[in-house]
Amino acid sequence: MTTKIVYYKSLLCPRCIPTSKMLKAFRQRYPQVEIEEVEVIAHPSRAREAGVRQVPTIVVGSQRINKAMPLERFAQLVFAEEKQR
């Protein structure tokens, strides 16, 4: 089973720019991992239901990440979460 990533973002969020770039690079390197992007301005109820209170927020299994990080570190977190399932 592949871990699904849900990325809560906003077009008005300057911190979402580097996070979006990181996820774009991740998607290119690992196209088998599903990444769903949720624009919180357009879908505030989705964010509220998920308990998301800030952007960017990346939900990977039970983990919440609120900033960009080096691609290799992010991949480790994603695949470690997958192994725990």
pTM: 0.91
Confidence bin at 2 (pLDDT 50/70/90): low
Positive/negative CA dihedral, 36, 72, 54, 56: negative
Question: What confidence score (pLDDT) does residue 3 get?
Answer: 74
Residues 10-61: pLDDT tens digits? 999 999 999 999 999 999 999 999 999 999 999 999 999 999 999 999 999 8
* 72 CB-side CA count, 13 A: 0
